[in-house]
Structures are given as structure tokens and as C-alpha cells.
Amino acid sequence: MNHLFLPELFTQKTIEAMNLAMTTEPGVLLNMVNLTYIVAAILFIFGLKLLGSARTAPRGNMISATGMLLAVGITLLDQQILSYTVLAIGVFLGATIGAVAAYKVRMTGMPEMVALFNGFGGMASLLVGWSEWHFLAGLPIAAMSQPLPFSQSVIALAVLIGGITFTGSLMAFLKLSGRISGRAVVFPGQKLINLAVATVIVGAMVAYVFIGQTGAAYPVFIGLLLLALTLGILGVLPIGGGDMPVVIALLNSLSGLAAAAAGFAIVNTVLIVAGCLVGASGLILTVIMCKAMNRSLGNVLFSGFGSAANSGPKGAVQGEMKPISCQDLYYVLESANRVVFIPGYGMAVAQAQHLVRELGEILEQNGTEICYAIHPVAGRMPGHMNVLLAEADVPYDQLQELAPINAAMEQTDVAVVIGANDVVNPAASDDPASPIYGMPIINAHKAKTVICLKRGQGAGFSGLKNELFFRENTRMYYGDAKSSIQNLVSEFKET
């Protein structure tokens, strides 16, 4: 057997044994396939565990990818779908596309790329379900491996969830990449329309299952497919860019559930296992993101938060934003004993993470204690700031979460807010009338001095003015974050 797809896991004797099993004993081959699936599932679980830490995530990703390659390879060979040559070509093409994407896509583009990945996963499950429909249509009922109603149910679920995931992820991609407005889009009767579409979908699913293999089944099936694609668009349309971390986590979960449904449809154990793992982990992450904003999932999906109508009074904050020059900021940082950097989406847009790390190193050499405050929903995807700072080689032990950073904020000399907005807005804890009231924030306002890097005086993605910018201990350092920090670094080097 050619062993292109796993050169390091099998010895030549094992390969010869697999060749013999495939040509002689069907039962032995089935056991070997199932054993391979178990190995792949173990690799999935182990890789998923390693993804929980930025330090071990690259290794976890490779282990999980190896498990998937093993599962796909053994499935295709077992079903005699592809020759070894075609399998090798597929591996080469996939690896090439992945390498080009990894090289071309900037770290700031990761949120929209993750959204695309989710969408492609959903579309793959939809196509599997669609293909299985055609397969069953030409098969006598007596030859089916599962009861027809069950097969039709899981096919409908694969198409429904996959379609919603695909178009919903495309909408998220368009919003995150700036191709359409990132604001929540709401219009009169929107919820009723969405409810009507969902109701028709449920009716179509029930009708499809009970119709069976009659001539009317296919039109109902195609209608279900189109309605699923429509609901994905309508579902993400009223969600603003500030809620994208939750949306991406939820779509990731849905892509896993679609894969699991497709696994049931084609009776593939490893696809069921992989789909359930992705679905469960994505759902857990969705819950974590919702808790980080102190909002329910229903509120995120249906409230239209961030739209023009729900952004709250934009002129309610009183006071004046006080600017600071680069030279004055140099003196503030030069005399500080403890500095906390609070990154946000503005740092990602400006691609300033490398200069932030350089400034941090300069301050450390000056005897200043440095750390980075990471809010769970800062940026546009879960872990967005962790990814950017890891890419800039910021030490992992300097990254701190909400609880430890807030506990030490009053002892912090300078809090440097780089493009963050809602996650440091004191209104979340001080103003019961604010739409973000109750949301856990980084208490930057409790630092002795707060420096906010910002392009101008606009509001954040939620549309709310940030009370922090008007506090007595806050100074605004205007300009593009990258050039502003570059000027500051130059000031330190020249002095």
C-alpha cells in the first residue's frame, strides 16, 4: 500500500498487512477501518485539548489535522472512492491552498478567514446531504442500511444546518472584512419575517420526511435548502460587528452539528465524532463569550444591538477629551513603575502589535513592570488579541485575563488603551441606563493615568460614546495606532 497520507505512523509490515486485509478478509478490513477511526478520534480529542493554550495550540492543530487526514484517507480507500494517486493529488492541492492562505492572509484578517472556514464546513455538509438524497432516491428500500424516515431526517438536518451556517458565515465574512456595513441591520417586521421563514422550514422538514420517496419529495427538499440559505442571511443581518465573537463561535458550533448530521446520513462514525466535538466545543465557547458580555444568546441574536436605533443616546456623556502629545506621553511612561496595555480591534486594524511589543520591551529595560489585559470579546473573534500578541512574540505569562488584571488596576500607574472601546467603558458598571450595563469590563478607569490611542472622537462598534475618554485621569493620544506608537518608540530611542 502506498502510504503517502501517513508516512510516519505505519511501518512497512503494517502496510503489507493492510493490503492483505483489503484483498482477503472483509471482516478484518472493517475492524481495521474502525480501529483507524478510533485513533483519529483520539487525535481529535488530544488536539482539541492542546488548543486551549496559545503555547500548545500549533501542536494541537497539527495533531487534529493529522487525525482528520487519517480519517479521510482510510474512508476514501475503504469505500474505493479514490485511487492513491488521486488521494495524493488532493492532499497536495489542499496543502498548497492552505500554505498560500497562511502566507497571504494577515493576522488582522483572521476573523473573516475563520468565518469563511465555518461557511465552507457548512457547505460541505450541505453537499453531502444533497448527494445522499440522490443516492437514496435510486436505492430500493430493502437495500437501505437505515430506516428511510431516519435517513431523510438526518439529511434534512445536514442541509438545514449546513445552509444556515454557509450563508450566515458569508454574512459574517462580509461584515468583518468591511465589504458591507458592520452595523446591525434592522427593519420593521424583521423578527416576524424570520419567525415565518423558520416556521415554513419546520413544516418543510416534516413534509419531506412524511412524503417519503414520492415525486413531490425533491421540490420540497430543494425548497428546504433554499429556505435554509435564506435564514442564514436573515439571522446574521441584525447582528452588529461588536457581537461577532459570539456569532463566530456559534457558527463554528453549527458547522460541527451539520457535520455530525451528515455523518449519520452516510453512516460514518468518525464524521459523527468530529462533528460532535466541534459542535460541543463551539457551544461552550459561545456560552463563554455571552458571559463575557453579560448577555444571553437570545439577546445577541435578536436584540439588534449596535444598530442606529439601539445605540443609545450619543450625546449623554458630558466633559471634554484631553489630548496628550508624544513627548508628554514619553515622560508619563518613562516614570511609570507599572504599565498595562489593553489592546482592542484598533490595534488589529493598525497592525500595531509588533510595535506594542517593542514598546513593552523598552519599558521593561527601563525597569517598568509590563502586562497585557485581555478581554474575552476584544476584537472580532474569540481569542483575537491573544492571536495577534502571540504572533508578535509577546511572552505568554504577560497576558492576563479580567480577574487578575482588575484586581491590580488601582496599583497601575498607566493603562494604555490601544483601540479598545466598549470593553473599557465605565458605563457598563456605572450607568444602569446604558445598553452595555452589567457587561464585565477591564477597569482601566481605576488606573492612576489612562492613555487612549484613538484615530478620532468617534464611538465604538456599539455606537456608544465611551465615558472613559472624558475622565479626569484620561488623556487621548490621537492618530493611527501604528504610527503613534512608532513615534513613541523613536522618542525613547532618541532620548
- pLDDT band of 21, cuts 50, 70, 90: very low
Express as a percent the part of the chain with pLDDT over 70: 88
For residue 244, pLDDT beyond 50: yes
For residue 136, pLDDT beyond 90: no
Beta bridge partners of residue 355, listed in sequence order: none
Query: What is the distance between the alpha carbons of residues 272 and 127, in angstroms, rounded to a whole number?
Result: 16
Active site includes 430?
Answer: no
pLDDT tens, residue by residue, 33-56: 888 889 999 999 999 888 877 778
SS3 per residue for the chain: CCCCCCCCCCCHHHHHHHHHHHHCCHHHHHHHHHHHHHHHHHHHHHHHHHCCCCCCHHHHHHHHHHHHHHHHHHHHHHCCCCCHHHHHHHHHHHHHHHHHHHHHCCHHHHHHHHHHHHHHHHHHHHHHHHHHHHHHHCCCHHHCCCCHHHHHHHHHHHHHHHHHHHHHHHHHHHHHCCCCCCCCCCCCCHHHHHHHHHHHHHHHHHHHHHHCCCCCHHHHHHHHHHHHHHHHHHHHCCCCHHHHHHHHHHHHHHHHHHHHHHHHHHCCHHHHHHHHHHHHHHHHHHHHHHHHHCCCHHHHHHCCCCCHHHCCCCCCCCCCCCECCHHHHHHHHHCCCEEEEEECHHHHHHCCHHHHHHHHHHHHHCCCEEEEECCCCCCCCCCHHHHHHHHCCCCHHHEECHHHHHHCHHHCCEEEEECCCHHHCCHHHHCCCCCCCCCCCCCHHHCCEEEEEECCCCCCCCCCCCHHHHCCCEEEEECCHHHHHHHHHHHHHHC
**Other beta carbons within 10 Å of 380:** 28
Supply the pLDDT for residue 14: 41
Q: Which of 11-15, 92-96, 414-418 has the highest mean pLDDT?
A: 414-418
Query: What is the distance between the alpha carbons of residues 97 and 90, in angstroms, rounded to a whole number?
Result: 11
pLDDT tens, residue by residue, 398-412: 999 899 999 999 999
Mean of pLDDT values over 371-387: 88
Fold classification of 326-494 (topology level): Rossmann fold (3.40.50)
Query: What is the distance between the alpha carbons of residues 375 and 402, in angstroms, rounded to a whole number?
Result: 6
Average pLDDT, the chain: 85
- Higher pLDDT residue, 91 or 398? 398
For residue 473, pLDDT beyond 70: yes
Domain coordinates in residue numbering, the chain: 1-104, 107-310, 326-494
Is 245 within 8 Å of 380 (Cβ atoms)?
yes
Closest CA to 452 of 357, 283, 304, 332: 332
Mean of pLDDT values over 314-322: 69
- pLDDT band of 417, cuts 50, 70, 90: very high
Task: Determine which one of 243, 328, 422, 430 is catalytic.
Answer: 422
Say whether pTM exceeds 0.85: no
